[in-house]
Structure 1
């Protein structure tokens, strides 16, 4: 695939990317600006942590900071991932059009762009409580090493779970100024949620990954993915419930967990690992799951 073809294949007519100046388009594609599900899945754990921290309603200013931070840091994570994976991405049909893999953006320019994103992220981070700032600094290590995990372990999804849900303790610390058992249990719940949904995501590339030797829980479990997914999602719901009880949420919170439980059960029941398009839809459906859990936490506080 040539550079022009690679760029064009990732830009939908009339979409957000197409509306940007031509010079900006490869960078917008690089940070997946037209694929917001990753930003949602990075933001939602932070929203859970803020909501759980104690006030009847989540602090709007913190919510805004974490939302903007999710856009910026998800973009930074994508740049880091694509710098590590550009040679692999060229060999996978779904990722061959990515700007670094196609040559639309050079590694040097990507590094400059990454520095700019991290600078914006630092400005946002400095608005938070000192404990949240410290947690944000620590998060840079798993962000940097996560892209390597698919080369050395069958469990890169577990490392993504550790990395992607850092917003839970950060959000809780930003709102409460401390960490306690409720926050840590909620972080564990988010870990299992990511372990499940990213396994679904990885099934989109399972065959290409096998050809080039990339590991994933999708390849590890294969036809046994459904019971693995059910176990992950059951652990998610159980740990969210325990976290809410530790935080003193009302019983309305437990009633509110019925909706995300139904949404997660639907993913388990309808999963077909041989249907890549369906796997993509089920993966994206986790935005609604995360919003439903956030709503249950807020209801448990307000009630």
Structure 2
């Protein structure tokens, strides 16, 4: 961890947040809240931890990342564009007919997308197969998956969690974007998911709790996950929905609403300019 340039990573996270705002504003629809909350997590993965090659997206030795909460596609797209998988100009075509970037990730049409996701829980389930395949093939690559806290209300998630533990998938790291809000409001009011740490532990997972906006804690947790043997790891990342944009923070209404012109301009100014 001594060689980590946290200042540069923070700048990258800010650029990703700008990309999210620009994409959703241009589309006039999308999901900014849960995309902004996950920007630091994806920054740590793609710009520090994961082995990927933008020039060769299908490189066999790559690590895999699956965005199980597929509606947060803007954060994945902005990250992939920042990493160089495709031109940033594509972000401005989000959700437009004939464009590459759909409302949810498409593994057949977007470089760097490992799994088409959208139906909650299915992306997470697919990573079980990926991790098992790597074990069978005796490959050293790792599989990472990001879930939403509203998503873990799905029964499919817990079937997959049980399978990951049963098959001792220590090459699988799941991260829970725990911002406390979903489209209908607070998790605890829609469908209480607590005690979340104890639930994952009871399913045989090693659980690490962190501040999901602290890059040092995120990277430290990812490092610890690599040391775990015979168990999958769940990183519960406490985050803020809409992080980085004052009027979006902790507001469930920004789960799936696009900023209008003045709102987008204000967001970009808060993030350091419209560049």
Structure with bigger strand share is 2
Larger radius of gyration: 1
TM-score normalised according to structure 1 size: 0.29
